[in-house]
Amino acid sequence: TQLLEQSPQFLSIQEGENLTVYCNSSSVFSSLQWYRQEPGEGPVLLVTVVTGGEVKKLKRLTFQFGDARKDSSLHITAAQPGDTGLYLCAGARGDDKIIFGKGTRLHILP
Amino acid sequence: NAGVTQTPKFQVLKTGQSMTLQCAQDMNHEYMSWYRQDPGMGLRLIHYSVGAGITDQGEVPNGYNVSRSTTEDFPLRLLSAAPSQTSVYFCASSYAGTGSYNEQFFGPGTRLTVL
């Protein structure tokens, strides 16, 4: 059973459109992170959220942590081809393990 | 700083062979971990370490051994390679494990094929 479920698995949209990807779990996490991975490289951290209900913005990217700290969302406004990549959420619980979701593969068409 | 380095970048093994994937970091991070990444499966935790001399199992530890004799190095050993271990392996490190605001820094990965 996957601890962190990401949806959608794949998303292909036109440049300029908005999109939201989701990371859901039945478990509570002490913090949740979003990473982006380019082909042939390791993931790179975008943001960490730690407080239930927290919202963080990174230019056109908005990250939200659910009130119960079980889910998170990533919203991209006016997507650009440079946003193309694999987006991974990762959760930390109290057992020293950081668990990743399967990822959302995003493709922005010019 | 070199960050997290992994060697080799590519490796082909025959079934039953053994090998060690090397991982080193120069950031004085206490927490290090190994993940494997397979198509459609995201990153799955193999083993992790919260400091020198301390290791523990992740989600998919079978077929892999680790040790942590120094803060800098965290090698991953495949004792008897199997085709199911064909994957891309990532090593990561962070300052202090799973605490809040802890960014994991990833190496460039090792692409392993077992024939």
Strands B76-78 and B87-94, by their bridges, are: unpaired
Nearest CA in chain B to A2: B41
Probe site for chain B from A32, A41, A98 (most B CB atoms < 10 A): A98
Write down all domains in chain A, each with its CATH number in brackets: 5-109 (2.60.40.10)
The predicted structure's pLDDT at residue B13: 97
Please state the rounded mean pLDDT for residues B87-114: 86
What is the structure's pLDDT at B100?
A: 52
Residues 11-70 of B with CB under 8 A from A: 31, 33, 35, 40-45, 48, 50, 56, 58-59
Q: What integer is the mean pLDDT of B52-65?
A: 94
Q: How confident is the model at residue B42 (pLDDT cuts 50, 70, 90)?
A: confident
B21 near B6, Cβ under 8 Å? yes
Query: What are the pLDDT digits (tens) for A12-26?
Result: 999 999 999 999 999
Measure the CA–CA gap between B63 and B78, rounded to whole angstroms: 6
What is the spatial distance between Cα A75 and Cα B65, in angstroms, rounded to a whole number?
A: 39
Contact of A102 with chain B, judged by CB distance below 8 Å, is answered with yes
Q: Is pLDDT at B101 greater than 90 in this prediction?
A: no
Quick one: pLDDT at residue B15?
98
Contact B98 A97 (CB under 8 A): yes
| A96 in B contact zone (CB under 8 Å) | yes
Of A30, A92, A100, the CB nearest to B43: A100
Q: Is B97 on the interface with A (CB under 8 A)?
A: yes
For A9, other C-beta atoms within 10 Å of its C-beta total 12
Partners of B10 in beta bridges: B111
Token pair 């990807």 is found at A21
Name the closest residue on chain B to residue A1, using Cα atoms.
B59
Instruction: Tell me the pLDDT band of B80, cut-offs 50, 70 and 90.
Output: very high
The ranges of chain A with pLDDT < 50 are none
d(Cα B32, Cα A82) in Å, to the nearest integer? 30
